[in-house]
Amino acid sequence: MRRLFRRHQVEPEAAGEAAARAAVTVAPVERDLQAAAFFDVDNTMMRGASIYHFARGLATRGMFTTSDLLKFAVGQAVFRLRGNENPEHIAVARETALAFVAGAKVDDVVRLGEEIYDEVMADRIWGGTRALAQSHLDTGQRVWLVTATPVELARVIAQRLGLTGALGTVAETSDGVYTGRLVGDLLHGPAKAEAVRALARREGLDLTRCTAYSDSANDLPMLSLVGQAVAINPDSELREHARKHDWPIKDFRTGRKATLTALPIAAGVGAVAGGVAAGIALRRHYRGQS
């Protein structure tokens, strides 16, 4: 009897793999290859601006001063209160950020992004929005983040949340180092819709069966592109548009938290301003190493 037991004994790894295969085949989720969900990040999936939180994480590492960060935060708040985004201001801020980030290593940005997500961003994910994303995954649909945030940071967020992937602003690189130029432009406004349209062509998606989520009227081109649009924590303009077109509205903000959340981000401007802060930090870091 003892000899028979030994003969049929298996290694834990093999047993684990066998159990996992069995669990998958018990009640598989059928993949829906033609439908997907697209989520904006800042103030939709996450409280505040992801790039701003990234800059904060760099500040705690002593890579630039908190007064620098405060200047960018105030600038973002001013843009938010004005309710507009001056294209000239965006262009200047974008070029400044790119100039500062030139020479930074992509691997370093990804590594810092992973660290800072775990330290700063994870607790700022809206539970309600995360549940919506999971509901799409549970039905076999793919879920993509669509954001003006640099694509490297957007991918980190998507990976940490267990999502399919991310569409973000693409900075040009050469041999794993940022050149200081963009590939195209900021993924903001109409550019988001174009990115979703291009992804749909590549992945064979039927956009009439897709869903998009955002907090900002700046994302109306993307929201209007799909079969179902949902306003999450919407600004006043998007809320009015959603009501007019019978789009679902979900607001996960409450009381004082809602007021505080509105300040750190002004859509494209907020992402660029945070990018400037992050760029300054990385530039100073690399100068200190040379």
Q: Quick one: pLDDT band at residue 270, thresholds 50, 70, 90?
A: very low
Q: How far apart are CA 242 and CA 270, in angstroms?
A: 23
Whether residue 123 lies in the annotated active site: no
Return the bridge partners of 209, or none: none
Question: What pLDDT is recorded for position 288?
Answer: 56
Answer whether 271's CB lies under 8 Å from 149's CB. Answer: yes
Across 49-53, 191-195, 262-266, 272-276, least confident range: 262-266
- Indicate if the pLDDT at residue 78 is higher than 50: no
Instruction: Output 261 or 17, whichever has higher pLDDT.
Output: 17
Q: Give the rounded distance of the alpha carbon of 223 from its chain centre.
A: 16
Q: Identify the three-state secondary structure at position 141.
A: coil
Q: 142 to each of 80, 149, 168, 256, how far by Cα in Å?
A: 32, 20, 17, 34
Token pair of 233 as six digits: 């924590």
Question: Strand pairing of 142-150 and 165-169?
Answer: parallel
Question: What pLDDT is recorded for position 279?
Answer: 52
- Indicate if the pLDDT at residue 86 is higher than 70: no
Instruction: Output 41 or 30, whichever has higher pLDDT.
Output: 41
| Residue 30: DSSP 8-state | P
Q: Quick one: pLDDT band at residue 248, thresholds 50, 70, 90?
A: very high
Closest by Cα among 88, 39, 54, 37 to 265 = 54
Instruction: Output 87 or 228, whichever has higher pLDDT.
Output: 228
Question: What pLDDT is recorded for position 117?
Answer: 95
Answer whether 252's CB lies under 8 Å from 69's CB. Answer: no
Answer whether 56's CB lies under 8 Å from 273's CB. Answer: no
Instruction: Output 285 or 215, whichever has higher pLDDT.
Output: 215
Instruction: Output 200 or 28, whichever has higher pLDDT.
Output: 200
Token pair of 110 as six digits: 């990804």
Answer whether 79's CB lies under 8 Å from 235's CB. Answer: no
Q: Quick one: pLDDT band at residue 25, thresholds 50, 70, 90?
A: very low
Return the bridge partners of 105, or none: 177
Reported pTM: 0.76
Question: What pLDDT is recorded for position 272?
Answer: 46
| Residue 277: DSSP 8-state | H
Catalytic residue (choose from 42, 68, 215, 235): 42
Work out the angle between the directed axes of helices 50-60 and 66-82 (0-180°, nearest 10).
160
Return the bridge partners of 69, or none: none
Question: What pLDDT is recorded for position 57?
Answer: 83
Catalytic residue (choose from 40, 68, 219, 235): 40
Q: Which helix (H) or strand (E) segment is 111 a member of?
A: helix 106-116
What mean pLDDT, rounded, does the chain reach? 77
Question: What pLDDT is recorded for position 64?
Answer: 59
Whether residue 40 lies in the annotated active site: yes
Q: Quick one: pLDDT band at residue 104, thresholds 50, 70, 90?
A: confident
Residue located via tokens 């679902």: 248
Residue located via tokens 């400044």: 96
Closest by Cα among 243, 204, 205, 203 to 226 = 205
Q: 155 to each of 84, 140, 165, 213, how far by Cα in Å?
A: 28, 20, 6, 18
Q: How far apart are CA 137 and CA 131, in angstroms?
A: 10
* 148-182: pLDDT as tens digits: 888 899 999 999 999 999 999 888 889 998 888 88
